[in-house]
Each structure stands twice: as C-alpha cells, then as structure tokens.
Amino acid sequence: MAASNYILEMRDIDKVFPGVKALDQAQLKLRPGTIHALMGENGAGKSTLMKCLFGIYIEDAGEILIDGIPTNFTNPKDALEHGVSMVHQELNQVMRRSIMENIWLGRFPMKGFLVDEKKMYEDTQKIFKELDIDINPRKEIGTLSVSQRQMVEIAKAVSYGAKILVLDEPTSSLSEKEVNHLFRIINQLKAEGCAVVYISHKMEEILRISDEVTIMRDGQWVSTTPSKELTMGKIINLMVGRELNDRFPPKTNVPGEVVMEVKNLTATYQPSIQGVSFTLRKGEVLGIAGLVGSRRTELLENIFGVARHDKGEIKLNGKIIHNNHSRDAINNGFAFVTEERRATGIFGGLSITFNAVIANLNQYTKYGMVSDKMMAIDTEQVIKSMNVKTPSAKTHIGSLSGGNQQKVIIGRWLLTDADIYLLDEPTRGIDVGAKYEIYQLVLELANRGKSVIVVSSEMAELIGISDRMLVMSNGRVAGIDETKNMTQEEILRLSAKFI
C-alpha cells in the first residue's frame, strides 16, 4: 500500500536515555479511521514511542510522517494544534479547577479581556453530548472518580479536533459498563475518520476493539498483524518471546488460622463504608471484587490508617489494634500498595533507592546515622528479585515504565517483611509477563504464611489467585465465599446488590 494511505508513519525511531536504548529502529504505521493496538511488555518502548510522536521526547534518529509530510513536534502543544492528542495512563489535571477549565486550559474563549465562561460551558456541554458524558462541566475535577476523569481527558482530546488519538491504558480503572461506554466513543471517533492508537495489556479488549496490532519487544518492532489473525496465545508468544501456557501459577498455599478480624467497620464521611465485617487467615489470599464506586479502596485505606473510620474494630491475632496513621499500620505489620502509584505510590523525582527503602528507614539508622551501604544492598535486592529494568539504582523512578515502577513499590514493602499485605490493583497497567511474576509473588507470600488482600477490577485475576472472594457493593459487603464456589456471573450480580 502506498505511503500516502497512512495517516501516520514512524520509521526507524531511536531513543537513548543514559544507560539504556529505549527505542531501536522502532516502527508504526497507522491508517485513518482505524483502531491500532500497540502492545508489548513493560519497558518494551510503547509509551516512549508515543511520547516521541507527541513531542514530549525528541527522537535521536528516524523520521515521523503525518499524511506523508515529515513532522517533528517540539512539545505537546505543537502536537495538539496539529491534530495529535494523547490521553496518558497517569492523568495530569489541575485538581482544584473545574472540568471545563481543565478542558480549555491555555485556550479559554475570551470576551474582551475576560474569559467567556458561558461559551466555555456551552462548548463543553456540546462535546459531552456527542460523547454521551453526563457530568456537570462546572464540577471540580478533583471530585470525580478516575474513570470520569479519564472520560474528561478524552473529551479534551476531541475538543482539539484530533485526527490521531493515543490512548495509554485507558481501561485500567474502568468497570465493564464504563469500558463499553469508552468503546462506543472510540468506535464513534473511528467512524468519523479519527485514527486511534490503543495501548493496553488486556488482550481480550485488544482482540475486541482493534483492527490491527503492532507488538514491540525491547524497544524494537516485532510485528504488525490484523487482529482477526491473532489469538491470545499468539500475542503472548510475540510479546514475551516464549510460550506462557497458564495465565496463573499453580496454587499450593494452605490457609490456616484467623489472623485478622474486621468487625462492623463504618465510615460515615463520603464516600462511606457501612458495617463491613470479614476475617483473614494466615497464608490466605483474599480477593475483593466490586464495581467502580464500591468502596474497595476506601476499605483498604481505613484498615491501613490513611483514612479514618468512626465505628468498628480491627483485631490482629485476637487483640484490638488502632491504625490511626500509616506508621501505626507499618509497626503492626501491614503493607499497602496503593492503586494510584503516581499520586500516592512513588516519589517520581527521586531515585529508585529512595523509593525502595522509604518504608523501612528505621532498619538503616543507627545512632542517628543512616547506612548508605545497607540501603544500596537492599535496593539491589529489590531490583534483582523483582526483575526491575533500570540502568541503575540511582535512576529516577519517574523515568521507568509503569510496570517497573510497580515492581519497585512492591519490593519496597517486601523489605519491611510485613505480615499482612494490602494490594490495591497491583497489576494495573502491567503486561502479561510481569503480571505472572506478581501472581507468583502473591502466592509465594501466602506459602510463607503471610496474608494478602487483593483488590482488582479483573475478575479472572481474582478467581485465578484468591482463596476466598469478598464482593463489595456501594460500601457494603454483598457476599463472601470460597472462590471455587463463585462464578463471574455471581460476582457481577453481587456487585450490583446495593446499587
């Protein structure tokens, strides 16, 4: 097919960072009015390639053509004004400002010397109506859920009249209903001639939504194939370069006696949790399922002491404990991997070493002196045991891929040798190979007698690794049972029980 039939061509793109070649003659060809999936393990170069397109990075070699014309955007504003939009996995929004201000930031409609708020509201409503988004544009964006904020970012991209739209892990925090809504929007944009680059690790979604799939490995192009010619097995083989026959490791842990008891936990602030009670056994993996807004995250935050409850109690080994602060929780043997790793998990501008040891600083301090040697040893242990891809321990964690950031965070908590691990969406935005490693880690912890609570939006994941399943609905426990007794249909039914 002639080059002119492609709206975008990225040819032989190289990008080198200190100590690592992130892109090595990478390629991507995109046809107008199509959905093109971009897949690969964490660190394969997907996001780096798209950041070169979007003007965040400048490629060291190669060329980018849009409609057959060589193009080099020097910054995102330049890209946006030329019809290229990107919705990042980690959302960048001004949380204390309104939705419409976030959408039109830097290009407010003016009436003389004043911002024309009436026009801004009407223009936002027009886009929302087209995309079937039912949110008040005047609402403060920080009050929205992650999924609603993601929809706002897509609306912002549409407001620029994007002819190329890049979506980086757009469904990582969405419920099934919200995924269906997003897919309707994407297919609507496709029908209008927009070309969509869809980055995701969710293979079922890729096969459902995309027309073509490009797979990258170690910064290089591996293949571009029509989606109808692919299966999950073929995708995995191309991504990781090896067969991965089972999605989940074999379960060999044997849960023992009850180690934690949560009784009537209630928080009356908004969003609230109401009368939550459950037990957790030694060596058990307890899965927590529920729709977006079911308060799964709030439950973990209350247990860990970063949110306050006003009723109920938590017993650890038969004794009532009070986790009034995260430090109390850590001292009581708890670890917490949060859902929003960029906002609440990492210190993006600091080194891997700092991020790896921060929860365990007491172990490196003696007579008021901090041992750099001990911290270096433990950081190397995290890098090796978690298979973190990084040039060195001194690298800023913010420059790593999302999956490698997540590995460092999990490694951080392993250094504390906690007894109870609270994992909120631990595989969010992580490729299939890295997911398997985290599943192995969770089951290894259970085999060592540790207790693990896993919140996940992926029902197959919870069914694959948990011993029991607790389903939440609107802040309440809708059901709890042995996982072997639960089906996806039953989980969905319980998830909607109190809505």
pLDDT, average across residues 392-413: 87
Task: Give mean pLDDT, residues 479-492.
Answer: 90
pLDDT above 70 (res 301):
yes
Location of structure tokens 């379960």: 251
What single string gives the DSSP state of each residue in 73-85?
A: -SSHHHHHHTTEE
Give 308's pLDDT tier (boundaries 50, 70, 90).
confident
d(C-alpha 428, C-alpha 343), whole Å: 14
DSSP state for residue 484 in the 8-state scheme:
G
Lowest model confidence (mean pLDDT) among 49-53, 83-87, 148-152:
148-152
| Mean of pLDDT values over 79-88 | 89
Q: Do residues 404 and 43 make contact, with C-beta atoms less than 8 angstroms apart?
A: yes
- Quote the mean pLDDT of the chain: 89
Per-residue pLDDT at 446: 96
Angle between helix 176-191 and 146-159 (nearest 10): 10
Q: What's the rounded mean pLDDT across residues 201-218?
A: 90
| Structure confidence at residue 146 as a pLDDT band (50, 70, 90) | confident
Mean pLDDT of 344-373: 86
Q: Average pLDDT in the 72-78 region? A: 90
pLDDT at 269: 74
Model confidence band, residue 281 (pLDDT cutoffs 50, 70, 90): very high
SS3 476: strand
Tell me how long the chain is.
499
Tens-place pLDDT, residues 433-467:
778 888 999 999 999 999 999 999 888 889 999 99
> What confidence category does residue 2 fall into, taking pLDDT thresholds of 50, 70 and 90?
very low
Average pLDDT over residues 412-432: 88
CA-to-CA separations, 461 to 253, 428, 432, 442, in angstroms, rounded? 17, 11, 11, 12
| Residue 1: per-residue pLDDT | 38
- The tens digit of pLDDT for each residue in 22-67 reads 899 999 999 999 999 999 877 788 989 999 999 999 999 999 999 9
Helix, strand or coil, per DSSP, at residue 455? strand
Confidence of residue 232 (pLDDT cuts 50, 70, 90): confident
Report the pLDDT value the prediction gives residue 244, as an integer from 0 to 100: 58
- Which of 305 and 90 is assigned the larger pLDDT? 305
Coil/strand/helix, residue 175: coil
Beta bridge mates, 320? 315
Tell me: pLDDT of 168 over 90: no
- 271 pLDDT band, cuts 50/70/90, is low
pTM of the model: 0.65
Q: What number of CA atoms fall less than 13 Å from residue 345's CA on the CB side?
A: 29
Report the alpha-carbon distance of residue 91 to residue 167 in Å, rounded: 11
Q: Residue 88: what pLDDT?
A: 82
Go through the domains of the chain in sequence order and give each one's CATH number.
Answer: 3-240 (3.40.50.300), 258-495 (3.40.50.300)
With vertex at residue 322, the alpha carbon angle to CA 318 and CA 328, rounded to the nearest 5 degrees, is 110
Whole-number pLDDT of residue 4 = 55
pLDDT of 264: 96
**Top-confidence residue, 292 or 3:** 292
Query: Contact, 209 vs 32, CB < 8 A?
Result: no
pLDDT of 3 over the 50 cut: no
Residue 70 dihedral angles phi and psi, to the nearest 5°: -55, 135
pLDDT in tens, 133-142: 899 999 999 8
Q: Which two structure tokens, joined as six digits, stand for 295?
A: 């308060």
Helix (H/G/I), strand (E/B), else coil: 422: strand
Distance CA 24, CA 61 (A): 9
Beta strand pairing status for 114-115 and 468-473?
unpaired
For residues 84 and 158, give the distance between their C-alpha atoms in angstroms, rounded to a whole number.
Answer: 10
CA 172 to CA 429: how far, in whole Å?
6
Which residues, other chains included, contact 318 with Cβ-Cβ below 8 Å and sequence gap of 6+?
none
